[in-house]
Structure 1
Amino acid sequence: MVGPDFSRPQAPTLQHYSADPLQRTVAASDQTELAAGAAQQLDHGLPVSARWWQSFDSATLNQLVAEAFRANPDLAAAQAALREASENMQAAHGALIPSISGGLDSKRQHSSSSGSSSSNGGRVYNTFNASVDVSYELDVFGGNRRAYEALQASHEYQQFELEASYLSLASNVINAAISEASYREQIATTKDIIQLQQQLLDILQTQFEFGSISQADVESQVASIAATQASLPPLQKSLALLRNQLAVYLGKAPSELSMDPITLDQLTLPQQLPLSLPSDLVAQRPDIRASAALMHQAAAEVGVATANQLPQFGITGSYGSEGNTFAELFSPGTLVWNLASSITQSIFDGGIKRHQTRASEAAYDQAQASYRSVVLSAFQDVANVLDALNYDAQTLRARVIAEEAATRSEKIADEQYKAGGTSYSTLLDAQKTLLNARLLRVQAQAARLTDTVALYQALGGGWWNRSGTPQAAAAALPVPASEPSATSQQ
């Protein structure tokens, strides 16, 4: 077969994702009971679970992912694209074997004849013909085989595109649930802060009326309340948009979404995390495998274009019977047959085939460069996640320390207020400081959870450790009574 013989690029020999030494243990807080506060261990020997989302130990998360697998329209489109590629591949295989067709026809015709006794100077007669025709294009230079190889590669590409769709959908659903929990806690905390600020404003207005403070002190507190209130609508907007997006992930209209809210305390941070070697990552990431399939397809299409420049060989044959009546068709003496061969070669086409071949070679070069880019991006993804795991753990540790200090300060202020040693406004300030610290801690908790999701996604999602399809696993789970199944929605 003409054209390049494709082989998957060799795995890189890299042993590390970044120049800095890998920190195998990341810890955020000594309070292991705090959601997302436990230490995490990175283990090269730990396999990536195909159902990695179950490591968060949340039945609600598991149900959301299952519902998305059942009903998401983008996932259904990816599944249909795979079926289409499979049928096209099977159709192309037919070009590799002879084509056989059968025919039966009858004719009634008139022919002129000077010696005929017919009144109109001719004769009318019937002919019947039954035949089997065989045609075969000799694939001397492998053009048809290369075309079939290209469609095999296209089918493989759609397979890994589907795996990437499963992985992306599961990650998006879980990140949406985590973000929703974070937004809800941030909104609740912000409302508590506004309430405390309003209480303090009431105190300041009373003091102003008695002449203890100036109008400027009151207006300063009004501005502080307004600033805090201004931060509330963006959080509410983000939550609303997130809920709408989550509904679409689940294959629903936003008005159809009904689910109990998840809190961060209901999610367990996985403490043992897998970490694949760079040499293994290229075989695990669906986007890398899909890019390799595109490179394979481009290589095969170079062979197709090259073969089209060369002579085309064909063989055709027919075997049958012919008679003037249907009863004569298969009687002795009615046998007809023919056998033919052909060679065709383009002599002048204005350089069309030559330039098509060069274009396919350029497309192959482009696919090779794109593959290298995808591999480098995959390594970058893992390196970014490893850095995020470490630094976000440090951030959460600092937030927890700040919240603990604010808690102690609020407790002291409360005791002093009860003993008459401090004012109520001082207590309210301490409580506001505590709530602000809690607000930042919630954000840091959510970051650690989403970092873990990002790690599983960056490692490829564990599809190679799965038997069956996620769709089949989702179908085996019960559908909540309050939510229609994907079948009923269709």
Structure 2
Amino acid sequence: MTKTLLFWRTQMPFSRTWPALATAALLAGCSMIPTYERPAAPVAAQWPEAMSTTSAQAGTPAAELAWQDFIGDASLRELIRLALANNRDLREAVLNIEQVRAAYQIRRADQFPTLNLAASGNRQPSSDGNGGISSTYTAGLAMAAWEIDFFGRVASLKESALAQYLASEEARKATQTSLIAAVANTWLSLQTNDELLALTQRTLATRDDSLRLTKLRLDNGAASVLDFRQAESLTAQARATLAQQRRLRALDVNALTLLVGQTLPDALIATTAGAAAPAFSDVPAGLPSDLLTRRPDIRRAEQQLIAANASIGAARAAFFPRISLTASAGTASGELSGLFKSGSWGWTLAPQALLPIFDAGRNQANLNSSNVGRDIAVAQYEKAIQTAFREVADALAGRATLDEQVQAQQVQLEAEADRFRLADLRYRNGVASYLELLDAQRSLFSVQQAVAQTRLSYLQNQVTLYKALGGGAIVDDASEKSSVQKKEVKS
């Protein structure tokens, strides 16, 4: 047993092994990750010519303008605060960050040796043929198969995991911007449907009165059955529109409840008659190249591209030797009572190198898969840029034309209102036919609905432009907390 212990203690003198370990530590970190180059943006350098006047506005960029400063209505701001606190999609995105962060920490831990407290005992027949039993007991610290990262395989996997973590943070920001825009647009739709509901109720009341008057005139021979049927048809149409508006309002409330994540306070969704339209701050469009750093969905796609690029480094390193080190230090004895006595201490050091010779093409297939994965990530990154360009261009087109459309329809509304007043006066005085009056009623109601819908489109377009330019990502304590965590991860 003494010979066995002596061999265990002097298998590889530490004075001769530490230079080899130091050299390995210096060589570890050799990276095979391809040099990353950001792909060229596959979009024009300027917005469409028709939008040039709208894109040159001065002001705070949307990505630097907090939503509290963008939205002027206090009720809407409070609804957004509730949504940021309770929305389940945003909560899932935040939890995904924690999960991916843990995965990154696991990859980072792979770069360091793992130390364990190990104890073992072994009893077997003696090899001297005397029929006795030999015993061996060991206790101490053990390090199992620590990979010395000569060719950067572990480091590449860590870099890929880090990029995935940063992508998850950008995904949370993208979810947040989408949530803010969805709450704002749904709230605006609810306000418009309340306005249309009130308009339809007033129109139905007017047509009910007209129907009763026409029935009275019919009974007294002053109106024809055709006049009565026309009045009856318009009244039924208004009643059907009223049912539709009630349904649309209920759908808006349901959608807003889901977005906010709780029952809606009545005070926050109430509509005040005659209230001014909600105010939103104007934001400059800037240049298409600005989207690369301002849109979280584009930054997320780029981080996923970086992760795919790092995975190629790990796949390349698999073609080279994988060197691992197993070591232990502690005490060994043939008797349990002598385990910690003087002279029983020792250590072992067992390096191992594995060079792939035949793997049926597994490593090459893995490298091919990684290369294709990077190409897919490039396509996804470019598609994200093109989608962002289209969204901003569409919103700029809306900003350039919707305001003019609202103003033109407002003039039309005033004209139709005056036309209806004159037609009603002419009919009551027997100058005009009832058909003329009904046509004026129908036109006025249609224009009133169109004005409300176009005004909604104009307001929702402002929200959409703010979101499309990357607005809404910086706002709350959760963002600040994630930024702190990101700094901790990088450190």
TM-score w.r.t. length of structure 1: 0.82
SS in 1 for 2:36: coil
Question: Paired residue for 1:259, among 260, 266, 276?
Answer: 266
Q: Partner residue of 1:77?
A: 92
One-letter amino acid of the structure 2 residue matched with residue 450 of structure 1? Q
Give the corresponding residue for 1:458.
468
Q: 5+ unaligned residues in a row in structure 1: which ranges?
A: 25-40, 474-490
1:2 aligns with 2:32: yes
Residue 343 of structure 1 aligns to a residue whose secondary structure is strand
CA contact (8 A) 2:42 2:382 kept: no
Instruction: Return the alpha-carbon distance in structure 1 between the equivalents of residues 127 and 214 of structure 2.
Output: 124
Q: Is the 8 A contact 1:127 1:324 kept in 2?
A: yes
Counterpart of 1:278 in structure 2 is: 288
1:226: how far off?
2.2
The residue number in structure 1 matching 2:52 is 22
- Retained in 2: the 8 A contact 1:180–1:262? no
SS in 1 for 2:293: helix
Candidates 71, 77, 92, aligned match of 1:56 = 71
Distance of 1:472 and 1:412 partners within structure 2: 64
Structure 1 residues 138-157: aligned runs within 5 Å: 138-157=148-167
Contact 1:12–1:279 (CA under 8 A) maintained in structure 2: no
Give the conservation status (yes or no) of the 8 Å contact 1:55–1:268.
no
Counterpart Cα distance in 2 of 1:371 and 1:114: 71
Question: Is the contact made by 1:298 and 1:364 (CA closer than 8 Å) also made in structure 2?
Answer: yes
Shift of 1:331: 3.5
> How do 1:349-364 residues align onto structure 2 when only pairs under 5 Å count?
349-364=359-374
CA-CA distance at 1:444 after TM superposition: 1.6
1:426-441 correspondence runs (5 A): 433-441=443-451
Q: Which amino acid counterpart does residue 61 of structure 2 have in structure 1?
A: P
Contact 1:17 1:380 in 2 (8 A): no
State the AA in 2 paired with 1:347.
I
Alignment pair present for 1:314 and 2:329: no
CA distance in 2, matches of 1:284, 1:462: 11
Rate the CA distance shift 1:61–1:457 in 2: closer, same or farther, 3 A: same
1:365 maps to 2:379: no
Q: Against the structure 1 CA distance between its residues 334 and 208, is the aligned structure 2 distance closer, same or farther, given a 3 Å change threshold? A: same
Letter in 2 for 1:249: L
Aligned pairs, number: 446
TM-superposed CA distance for 1:99, in Å, is 2.4
Deviations 1:135-155 (A, max 9, x none): 431212211111001101110
**Secondary structure of 1:67's partner?**
helix
Mapped pair 1:189 → 2:202: no
* Structure 2 unaligned regions, length at least 5: 1-30, 483-491
Structure 1 residues 315, 213: CA separation in 2 closer, same or farther (over 3 Å shift)? same
Per the alignment, do residues 112 and 345 of structure 1 end up closer, same or farther by CA in structure 2, a change over 3 Å counting? closer
CA distance, structure 1, for counterparts of residue 81 and residue 227 of structure 2: 55
Higher alpha-carbon deviation: 390-399 or 333-342: 333-342
Partner of 2:49: helix, strand, or coil?
coil
Q: Which amino acid aligns with 2:34?
A: P
Aligned residue among 38, 43, 49 for 2:57: 43
TM (norm. structure 2) is 0.82
Q: How much has 1:329 moved relative to structure 2?
A: 3.1
Q: 1:132 aligns with which of 136, 141, 147?
A: 141
1:297 and 2:314 correspond: no
Match in the other structure for 2:9: none
* 2:296 and 2:470 in contact (8 A); partners too: yes
Aligned to 1:399: 409
2:107–2:157 Cα contact (<8 Å) kept = yes
What secondary structure is seen at the aligned counterpart in 1 of 2:458?
helix
Q: Structure 1: how far apart are the matches of 2:163 and 2:129?
A: 67
Contact 1:177 1:262 in 2 (8 A): no
Q: Following the alignment from structure 1 to structure 2, what is the Cα–Cα distance between the partners of residues 284 and 113?
A: 74
What secondary structure does 2:266 align onto? coil
Give identity over the alignment, percent.
Answer: 26
Q: Which amino acid aligns with 1:132?
A: L
Q: Is this contact kept in 2: 1:382–1:458, CA < 8 A?
A: yes
